Amino acid sequence: DAAGVIRVPFPPQQTVSFGIMVRASGRVPVLLQSAKSAGGDFARELEAKLERGVRMGGVVNDPAGRPIAEAEVLIHSITRNGPREFTRLDYDTARMGTDGKWSSESVPAGVDAVAFEVSHPEFRAMLFTRGKSNDLSAGMVSESDLAAGKAVIALPAALRVVGTVLGYNGRAIKGVEIQIVDTSRPDFRRPVPCDDAGKFSFAVPQPGDITLMIQA
């Protein structure tokens, strides 16, 4: 509300732990979490102090050096908590305008292992880390360029698949439904538009095997 208060209802008898991510534009997100101890209860009032982070930014281009509009940069870090335990924290999702530029102030100072997952439906998604030099082939973006808002990231074009769905008589079928099925994640499906002439077109963001499920 106007006083900055967030009320979160929960079933007290069934809840044994919780985690709440608090975000605001231009601020470092804060994770509030707690677990019940034997015979204890949760603190009913928690305070999240959102500080301004380190400003960083740049531009996302296509292979020809032209800015890519409406690309996304997901900024995150992965912290090792134990021999086989890791925690990922997503700081911000910066979206480009028509000029391909992005900026963020949601990463706290002192965090070294910052990664940038850059994606767009028409291009291959790429993962970059912040480093001392600029070496895109090694997946590294210069720390000084990021701080100056001049980091240049180039995305390679995605493979585009174009086809036509026809009946046994060679004629187009109306009302065709096409979905991309991820072979490694059968529960993940992405719809593909298909017009009344049976024509469809889609971009594959990453190399590998894909499966098309076609229904009519």
Residue range 47-103, pLDDT digits in tens = 999 999 999 999 999 999 999 999 999 999 988 878 888 888 899 999 988 899 999
Place of tokens 């021999």: 83
Distances in Å between the alpha carbon of 153 and those of 102, 115, 136, 141, 204? Answer: 11, 13, 7, 8, 20
Mean pLDDT of the chain: 87
Task: Tell me the percentage of the chain whose pLDDT exceeds 90.
Answer: 38
Question: What value does the mean pLDDT take over residues 10-30?
Answer: 87
Maximum alpha-carbon separation in the chain: 72
pLDDT tens digits, 109-157: 888 789 999 999 889 889 999 888 778 777 888 899 999 999 999 999 8
Q: Which is it for strands 140-142 and 123-131: parallel, antiparallel or unpaired?
A: parallel
Side chain identity at 207, as an amino acid letter? P
Residue 104 has pLDDT above 90, yes or no: yes
| Banded pLDDT at 20 (limits 50, 70, 90) | confident
| Banded pLDDT at 186 (limits 50, 70, 90) | low
Question: Would you call 157 helix, strand, or coil by DSSP?
Answer: strand
Q: Which residues of 6-39 are buried (b: 16+ CB within 10 A; e: fewer)?
A: eeeeeeeeeeeeeeeebeeeebbbbeeeeeeeee
